[in-house]
Structure 1
Amino acid sequence: MSHFSYQDGVLCAEHTPLTQIARQFGSPTYIYSKAALVENFSSYADACKKHGRTDDTALVCYSVKSNSNLAVLQLLGKLGSGFDIVSGGELLRVLAAGGSPRKVIFSGVGKSREEMQLALSHDILCFNVESIPELHRLNEVAGEMGKRASVSLRVNPNVDAKTHPYISTGLKDNKFGVAYEDALTTYRVASALPNISVVGIDCHIGSQLLDDAPLLEAVDKLIELIDALAAEGIVIHHLDIGGGIGINYDNDKPVAVGDYLARVFAKVDAWRAKNHAGAPIKVLFEPGRSIVGNAGILLTEVQYIKHGETKNFAIVDAAMNDLMRPAMYEAWHGVQPVLQRHVAAQTYDVVGPVCESGDWLARSRELAIQEGDLLAIMSAGAYGMTMSSNYNTRGRAAEVMVDGATVHLIRKRELASDLFALETLLP
């Protein structure tokens, strides 16, 4: 079911009219549906249970970078989620939200010494290491702390995810991971380091994948590599296949999560039955967008209707600093008027007040609107608030969580004074 739908001509989040949320919290405001978040996470958890996976043999590690609000992390943690982080700050967010560090995997190509120290001090589950220099630094830091760092290597399988170049991460010319051809050599280096414990193998080829064929191709390549490592006495205990499953932005038809996980587990089980005995290998997933993307919208108010010679503009109070994806990727987001007006629609570009020609949220949309109307920018739960900025000294939007008829403020709107509170005047 859709958790954002019209009721009596008014767009609602679950059972709450967006007009009510605007009156209470203003705009622009990010609105998340608790029911949608639970449903989306459960699609992963239920598929794991259906195929006999327990916490010891499967772990869903939510990708914190997609939406890092503490309430979102808290909710997912209570549902049993682990967390995929890419910075020390994200680790601190997970801890502040009550998440377990033993369910945290630390990805990213540029981990600092301080971030390594922080993660080791909290005994996280695993570092996803992306280069030999990073291995040596982590070995050094762990030795200084009297610890052994558990690592998996992020292997770049050179699989084309067939997605936007900015979010494709598994090709040879991407900055991520260890080249597939260099993986054996890198694992040999890792296994010889005194303060490193090799526990897994990892890959992530990109995001917004509608077809799971590239992901399954990557799984095959990782399984081949696990066998090659076993021949050298290097035992892999978990297989982390990353995230990447897409969502519906514009009549997209992403693969069903349950179908995708079933095919992954079938491959893993067939490989183990043929070649191995003993405990099954643990399978890790790193979903982000597929959990939060369609669970959130951005509410904004039309400030002006501007009719031009070749275009009409709906100038709203949200902008590229609030939702960067259209300006950055030319991403498509649905736009729905909160109030359904029974008048002739016109074609508008929906644009913001930021002083950039690239400040647009949607182009060429048929809308029946007038000044003062509210618009909902759909499918904005992922990479919306986390990519927002204070450009033009604009405070970031408020965030709310809707739980049935109850609305919780989970992040206050920033004030201008908040933005320069850390700055000082010269004497």
Structure 2
Amino acid sequence: MNAATLHQLPPQLTARGPNLALDGHDLGRMATEHGSPLFVFSGRKLAGNARALLAAARAGHPRARIFYASKACSNLHVLKIIRAEGLSIEVNSGGEMWKARAAGFKPAEIVFNGVAKSVAELELAIGLGIQAINVDSAFELSRIAEVATRLGKVATIALRIVPGIGGGATAGIQTGSERSKFGMGQAELREALDIARSHTSVLDVAGMHLHIGSQVLDLPDFLESVSFTARQAREIAGHLGKPLKHLNLGGGYPINYVHRRQGANAGRDFDLSAFAAAQPAAGMMEAVSRAAARELGPSPEIFFEPGRSMVADCALLLTRVENMKRRGATPWLFLDAGYNLLLDSAAVRWYYHMLNASRMDAPADADFRVVGPLCDSADCFFDVEGEYLWEAIEAKLSGLAGVTPEVLAELKAKTVRLPETRALPAATAPGDLVALLDTGAYSLEEMFQYCGRQRAKAVMIAADDSIVTLRERDRPEDLVDAAERMGMGAAI
């Protein structure tokens, strides 16, 4: 059985003999032409995702709108494709607002999230007259009122509320409780409503906003957030004496990062079944939109803010094997890409599925420890911290009454978040090309230059099969800023 049959390839990926292809383009040839590491995006997949999510939202509620969460990937070419498909945009900073405007989004197509909006950012948002500022605190609302008064403008706002609903694949991406840094609880909401009532000439409370997390795998969590929104919106409207114009249900819709058949590319004692069982984002969004139509009624507009589910599966990262060694019987592979290009692999121990893109006709029959090139032991595609922690926990629990093998397995799965090894062809060696799938979200935005490594080039296969450069690879001189280069003179 070859690698292509062991792995469940998404439709945009195909195996052509030994080589992996994206939208029919040989990825080995692309890596040779553009260098490695290299992000490759599918323009067709991106546009298809945008169309599918918008159609799903509107199938449930005729006044549904999608505001793409641009923090997931705010590359201008990506933004222009999303805008061309009829979507609006959610931004998280003045910089993202600037990029949204550069991509052609109109002020009425922009909502502004964020927990620490500066005066300058609020001046920009209020001056433009954007669709809504999602207010994160009572203090921020006071600041908005001051800025709007000074500018002689009316600020359109939505109140971001903490719903107390759990959601998200890891603690670091759960945003629906007061344990997170986002939104207002009930006491602070009452304070914000007092501020709003005191500044009706400059504050238009047009909506309510919530967000329960990212990669939320359970539809009931989303449905519960709709019911919460219905109750809370009625209370806010009662306090203000007017109905809300829009209700923003946030994002967090999941994608399946696993792409493996039973037994393929799974580390021993590691379970990725939750990822694999994730309902498609479009189906979940349609169900939520229908629930919103029932519980919230036809009058308010319904907003959604998908990010990851829009762009994650539109891209992959190509990386070369540069070195290998053995630790006992286990072979180790050293790639030219590490957490400098995929920060979430270390920050939240995120799983990215791995294929040998140059040996797709060979069985994935050997287990490898896979690491990146950085001078840092945490630069690896397994959970080094979790593994060390588990050794200590297991030693403490060993022999204790009531600690069954089943309990140990459950605790280990919660402690060690990534497979210890990856299944790849036994012949995998330096020079081979490895593809990490579903890297379109939170990758281009988070790259950095640790250990003097340049940020990667990114290209897109457009709908007409042309190759569009999204960003060039950093040059060596990009490792120092302009002032340093001037000071160094002829040394550069």
Q: Distance in 1 between matches of 2:287 and 2:364?
A: 48
- The aligned counterpart of 2:352 is 333
| Distance (Å, rounded) in 2 between the aligned partners of 1:183 and 1:30 | 43
Question: Partner letter of residue 311 of structure 2?
Answer: V
**Gap runs ≥5 in structure 1:** 274-278
Does structure 2 conserve the Cα–Cα contact (< 8 Å) formed by 1:191 and 1:234?
no
1:17 aligns with 2:26: yes
AA aligned to 1:250 is V
Query: Does 2:408 match 1:351?
Result: no
SS in 2 for 1:386: coil
Whether 2:45 is the aligned partner of 1:36: answer yes
DSSP-derived class of the 2:421 partner: strand
Q: In the alignment, is the contact (CA less than 8 A) between 1:43 and 1:257 conserved in 2? A: no
Question: How has the CA–CA distance of structure 1 residues 261 and 346 changed in structure 2, closer, same or farther, with 3 Å as cutoff?
Answer: closer
Match of 1:407 among 467, 470, 480: 467
1:276 corresponds in structure 2 to: none
Shift in Å, 1:290: 0.5
SS of structure 1 residue aligned to 2:257: coil
| Alignment check: 8 A CA contact 2:61 2:292 kept | no
What secondary structure is seen at the aligned counterpart in 1 of 2:161?
strand
Matched-pair contact (CA < 8 Å) for 2:354–2:437? yes
Q: Please give the alpha-carbon distance, in whole angstroms, between the structure 2 residues aligned to 1:390 and 1:380.
A: 18
CA contact (8 A) 2:22 2:42 kept: yes
Which structure's CA Rg is the greater one?
2
Cα separation, partners in 2 of 1:181 and 1:44, compared to 1, 3 Å? farther
- After TM superposition, list the pairs within 5 Å mapping 1:39-54 onto structure 2: 39-51=48-60, 53=62
Task: Kindly provide the CA deviation profile for residues 141-195 of structure 1, in whole angstroms up to 9, marking residues without a partner as x.
Answer: 1111111110001101111115300000111211100014543442232232232
Structure 2 runs not aligned, ≥5 long: 1-9, 260-275, 383-419
Alignment of 1:139-288 (within 5 A): 139-161=145-167, 163-193=169-199, 194-232=201-239, 233-250=241-258, 252-271=276-295, 280-288=299-307
Whole-angstrom distance in 1 between the partners of 2:124 and 2:237: 32
Shift of 1:348: 1.4
* Alignment counterpart, residue 388 of structure 1, candidates 416, 441, 447: 447
What is the total number of aligned residue pairs between the two structures? Answer: 419
Cα distance change on mapping 1:182 and 1:134 into 2, 3 Å? closer
4+ residue runs over 6 A deviation: none
> In structure 2, what is the Cα distance between the partners aligned to 1:210 and 1:121?
38
Q: Are the aligned partners of 1:247 and 1:253 in contact in 2 as well (CA < 8 Å)?
A: no
Match of 1:417 in 2: 477
Paired letter, 2:375: C
Note the alpha carbon deviations across 1:353-385, whole angstroms, 9 max, x for none: 111111013540111211101010111111111
Cα distance, 1:218 vs structure 2: 1.3
1: CA distance between counterparts of 2:38 and 2:257?
A: 19
| Greater strand proportion | 1
Aligned-partner SS, 2:98: helix
Distance 1:130 1:407, change over 3 A: same
Aligned residue for 2:287, secondary structure, equals helix
Q: Deviations over 1:212-241 (max 9, x none)?
A: 211211111111011112323142110000
Contact 1:245 1:254 in 2 (8 A): no
Once the two structures are TM-superposed, the CA of residue 94 in structure 1 deviates from its matched residue by: 1.1
Aligned residues of 1:245 and 1:255 also touching (Cα < 8 A): no
Range with greater deviation from structure 2 (307-316 or 68-77): 307-316
What is the letter of the counterpart of residue 54 of structure 2?
A
Deviations 1:235-294 (A, max 9, x none): 211000000011111252322334323333333332356xxxxx6110000000001111
Decide whether the 8 Å contact of 2:161 with 2:184 is kept in 1: yes
Shift of 1:344: 7.4
Cα displacement (A) at 1:40: 1.2
User: Cα 1:23–1:62, aligned 2, differ >3 Å: closer, same or farther?
Assistant: same
CA shift for structure 1 position 351: 1.2
Deviation of the 1:119 alpha carbon: 1.7
Structure 1 residue 48, shift from structure 2 partner? 3.3
Q: Pick one of 311, 324, 330 that aligns with 2:343.
A: 324
Q: Distance in 2 between matches of 1:272 and 1:349?
A: 50
Amino acid at match of 1:365: R
**Letter of the aligned partner of 2:357 in structure 1?**
V
CA RMSD of aligned residues (A): 1.9
Q: Supply the distance in 2 between the matched residues of 1:126 and 1:51 (Cα, whole angstroms).
A: 23
| One-letter identity of the residue aligned with 1:291 | M
Counterparts of 1:314 and 1:180 in 2: how far apart (Å)? 51
Distance in 2, matches of 1:357 and 1:242, equals: 36
Distance 2:289 2:373 in 1: 48
Which of 291, 306, 309 is matched with 1:290 structurally? 309
C-alpha distance in 1, partners of 2:69/2:363?
Answer: 42
Separation in structure 1 between the aligned mates of residue 307 and residue 54 of structure 2, nearest angstrom: 14
Task: Give the AA of the match of 1:270.
Answer: R
Q: TM (normalized to structure 2)? A: 0.81
Instruction: Specify whether residues 203 and 49 from structure 1 end up closer, same or farther in structure 2 by C-alpha distance, changes over 3 A only.
Output: closer
TM-score by length of 1: 0.93
Please give the per-residue CA displacement for 1:287-314, whole angstroms capped at 9, x wherever unaligned: 0000111111111011012212264221
